[in-house]
């Protein structure tokens, strides 16, 4: 027979043990169930040094990701309801460059948003999201790895007969025409001296150096693995008095106007315009102010050059810079909150009437394939409920992507 004290201890033990088991269960995180699909959607694929961007992760139960893959990592052949996972499902993140904050997040309506924070190291960051047995990856270019173009300008563009100094400015941008800060740029010249030989881009993606020369000099700027086109600072008389562009800031696909003004009495046999994107045009002999219309096919900062030729040969050139940005397009849905199996129409807005558009590419994260239209609308029907993400990419005549818009909507 147990003593009264022993009996009391046994009773306490019996009462405490169930609560301990319940507390242990509460510590087990809620993870995505088997068959779930994770899709990663960074707001951009390029990141400046010492900056941050948002990354959205969508977790769907029994879903099929676009193209049959979960984000860029998990392959699945399952089909089914495609509903968001339970609120509070834990999603964990890792990255090979920089850091993710927070490294763990819990879903709401099947989504979480975290930040990739880039430090001072360049490279390709592989971001991985995982929950339960589902995972997905996305690759983002950071710092010098993100460099797509380097555009070079000088002020002034020409020097007097005795030479002098000119400031060279290199604008470093990514594939979307966005400026990249913190990127080292090296400057070289075939005449005179240039200082500093290496400079770092500022918040606007610009690095500067000073050329000092007594003769016509070529300058080259290099960043990452991409080299800019050479630009020439002349130290001789020129046959052109001015070369301008209007507007100096425009959108891709929308024409801008270049104006060439020859010097009084100049005997010009031809003027060659290099638009800075690999396209040139011969104006022939001009005797007065001449205008040229041109539409750039992709965002970026371009240096256009007008080179005059007279009977003695090359008689000088002038350059001007034009900043071409992506079209600020919008994306809307009608109805804004469709029901399952109810037709919905997506419409692109903000496209100028003068824009030279070739086609639109549509990506819907409900498992349907990428679609292409020649017009700014897409009819669609959702077969499942939940939060859906839609993206449209706008392409100009010639094939360059000139605008992107995204839309998140709920299907009831």
Q: pLDDT tens digit string along 185-237? A: 999 999 999 999 999 999 899 999 999 998 889 999 998 777 677 899 987 55
Same domain, 248 and 299: yes
Position 80 scores a pLDDT of: 39
Of 217, 236, 255, which residue constitutes the final position of a domain?
A: 236
Confidence band (pLDDT; 50, 70, 90) for 24? very low
Predicted confidence at residue 94, as pLDDT, reads: 96
- Residues paired with residue 143 on neighbouring β-strands, in sequence order: none
Residue 28 domain-assigned?
no
Q: Is residue 1 part of a domain?
A: no
Question: Residue 397 is part of a domain; what is its CATH number?
Answer: 2.60.40.10
Inside any domain, residue 16: no
The DSSP symbol for 223 reads E
93 and 118 housed in the same domain: yes
pLDDT tens per residue, range 106-126: 999 999 999 999 988 888 999
Domain assignment present for residue 320? The answer is yes
Q: How many CA atoms lie within 13 A of 79 on its CB side?
A: 4
Say whether 24 sits in a helix, a strand or coil.
Answer: helix
Domain count, the chain: 4
19-33, 140-154, 289-303: the lowest-pLDDT one: 19-33
Residue 12: inside a domain: no
> At 238, is the pLDDT very low, low, confident or very high (cuts 50, 70, 90)?
low
**Mean pLDDT calculated for residue range 86-98:** 95
**Percent of the chain clearing pLDDT 70 (strictly above):** 86
Place of tokens 């068959």: 35
Is the Cβ–Cβ distance between 114 and 54 less than 8 Å?
Answer: yes
Q: Which pLDDT band holds residue 157 (cuts at 50, 70, 90)?
A: confident
Same-domain pairing of 243 and 192: no
Domain end call among 326, 343, 371: 326
Q: Are both 311 and 344 inside the same structural domain?
A: no
Domain that holds residue 206: 147-236
* 3 state SS for 236-271: CCCCEEEEEEECCEEECCCCEEEEEEECCCCCEEEE
Residues 311 and 379 in one domain: no
Q: CA 376 to CA 199: how far, in whole Å?
A: 43
| 67 and 113 together in one domain | yes
pLDDT of residue 327: 77
pLDDT in the model for residue 267: 77
Domain presence at residue 21 = no
Tell me the range of 60-69, 141-150, 263-272, 351-360 where mean pLDDT is highest: 141-150
pLDDT of res. 236: 57
Mark whether 58 and 124 lie in a shared domain: yes
Summarize the confidence of residues 39-46 as an average pLDDT.
90
Query: What's the confidence (pLDDT) of residue 126?
Result: 95
For all residues of the chain together, what is the average pLDDT? 84
* pLDDT for 134: 94
Residue 241: per-residue pLDDT: 86
Residues 242 and 229 in one domain: no
Does residue 30 sit within a domain?
A: no
Among 282, 306, 326, which residue terminates a domain? 326
Q: Residue 25: is its pLDDT beyond 80?
A: no
What whole-number distance in Å separates Cα of residue 412 and Cα of residue 410? 6
| Cβ partners under 8 Å of residue 329, min gap 6 | 348, 349, 350, 351, 392, 394, 403, 404, 405
Residue 41 lies in a domain: yes
**Distance between CA atoms of residues 28 and 173, nearest Å:** 46
Q: How confident is the model at residue 148 (pLDDT cuts 50, 70, 90)?
A: confident
Q: What is the mean pLDDT of residues 93-111?
A: 95
- For a pLDDT cut of 90, what percent of the chain falls above it? 50
Per-residue confidence band for 313, with pLDDT thresholds at 50, 70 and 90: low
Does 284 lie in the same domain as 194? no
Query: Could you tell me if 66 and 108 lie in one domain?
Result: yes
Confidence of residue 314 (pLDDT cuts 50, 70, 90): low
What digits encode the pLDDT tens for the residues 343-381?
999 999 888 887 878 899 999 998 899 999 999 999 999
In a shared domain, residues 243 and 228: no
Cα-based distances in Å from 333 to 69, 166, 284, 337, 407: 26, 52, 50, 8, 8
Whether residue 44 is found in the same domain as residue 138: yes
Average pLDDT value for residue range 265-292: 89
Which position has the token pair 């005797």? 287
What's the pLDDT at 11? 36
What pLDDT, on a 0 to 100 scale, did the predictor assign at position 103?
95
Q: What is the predicted pLDDT for the residue at 145?
A: 86
């Amino acid at each position: 027979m147990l003593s009264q004290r022993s009996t009391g201890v046994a009773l306490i033990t019996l009462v405490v043990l169930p609560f301990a088991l319940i507390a242990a269960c509460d510590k087990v995180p809620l993870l995505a169930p088997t068959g779930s699909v994770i899709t990663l959607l960074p707001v951009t694929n390029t990141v400046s040094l010492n900056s941050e961007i948002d990354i959205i992760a969508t977790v769907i139960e029994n879903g099929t990701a676009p193209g049959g893959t979960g984000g860029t990592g998990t392959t699945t052949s399952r089909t089914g309801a495609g509903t968001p996972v339970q609120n509070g499902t834990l999603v964990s993140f890792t990255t090979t460059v920089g850091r993710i904050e927070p490294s763990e997040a819990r879903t709401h309506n099947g989504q979480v948003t975290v930040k990739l924070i880039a430090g001072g190291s360049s490279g390709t960051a592989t971001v991985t999201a995982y929950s339960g047995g589902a995972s997905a990856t996305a690759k983002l270019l950071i710092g010098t790895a993100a460099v797509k173009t380097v555009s070079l300008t000088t002020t002034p563009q020409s020097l007097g007969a005795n030479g002098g100094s000119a400031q060279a400015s290199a604008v470093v941008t990514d594939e979307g025409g966005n400026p990249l800060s913190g990127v080292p740029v090296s400057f070289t010249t075939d005449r005179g001296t240039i200082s500093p030989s290496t400079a770092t881009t500022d918040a606007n993606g610009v690095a500067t150096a000073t050329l000092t020369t007594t003769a016509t000099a070529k300058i080259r700027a290099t960043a990452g693995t991409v080299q800019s086109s050479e630009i020439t600072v002349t130290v001789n008389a020129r046959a052109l008095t001015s070369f301008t562009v209007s507007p100096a800031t425009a959108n891709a696909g929308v024409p801008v106007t270049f104006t060439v003004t020859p010097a009084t009495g100049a005997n010009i046999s031809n003027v060659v315009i290099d638009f800075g994107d690999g396209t040139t045009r011969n104006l022939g002999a001009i005797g007065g102010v001449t205008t040229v219309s041109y539409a750039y096919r992709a965002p970026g900062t371009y240096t256009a050059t007008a080179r005059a030729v007279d009977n003695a040969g090359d008689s000088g050139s002038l350059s001007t810079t034009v900043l071409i940005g992506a079209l600020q397009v919008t994306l809307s849905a009608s109805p804004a909150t469709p029901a399952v199996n109810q037709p919905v129409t997506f419409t692109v807005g903000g496209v100028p009437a003068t824009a030279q558009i070739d086609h639109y590419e549509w990506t819907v994260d409900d498992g349907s394939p990428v679609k292409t239209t020649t017009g700014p609308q897409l009819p669609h029907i959702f077969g499942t409920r939940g939060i859906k993400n839609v993206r449209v990419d706008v392409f100009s005549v010639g094939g360059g992507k000139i605008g992107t818009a995204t839309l998140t909507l709920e299907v009831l």
